[in-house]
Amino acid sequence: MPAQLTRPPGKLVLDARKKLTLTGATEVVRFDEDLVELNTDLGPLLIEGSGLKLKCLSLDDGTIIVEGDLCALRYEVSGRKRGLLR
């Protein structure tokens, strides 16, 4: 039986609120200097902050590195629509 390539499970590493390394990303939905919205193996993820920059983006292996002033990381409930008020 041939060996199958599998991606490692989702992992977040946050360094001093300035650098986030994420594995398990499947799609970048939105990106600007205040918000990064991703789909991951563990569900939709919102990364909020200021001066955000994508330093590394490799959807082949699911790795993303975001740098900037990171304020919040939030996994969204799948299928739930976001409104104006949170």
1 pLDDT band, cuts 50/70/90, is very low
Cα 60 to Cα 81: distance, rounded to the nearest angstrom: 28
- DSSP track, 9-36: PPEEEEETTTEEEEE-EEEEEEE-SSEE
78 pLDDT band, cuts 50/70/90, is low
- Tens digits of residue pLDDT in 3-47: 445 666 789 999 999 999 999 999 999 999 999 999 999 899 999
Q: What are the sequence ranges of the domains in the chain? A: 11-75
**Which of these, 35, 34, 47, lies nearest to 76 by C-alpha position?**
47
Give the pLDDT of residue 84: 47
CATH architecture of 11-75: Sandwich (2.60)
What's the pTM?
0.79
Cα 56 to Cα 49: distance, rounded to the nearest angstrom: 17
- Tens digits of residue pLDDT in 36-77: 999 999 899 999 999 999 999 998 889 999 999 999 999 988
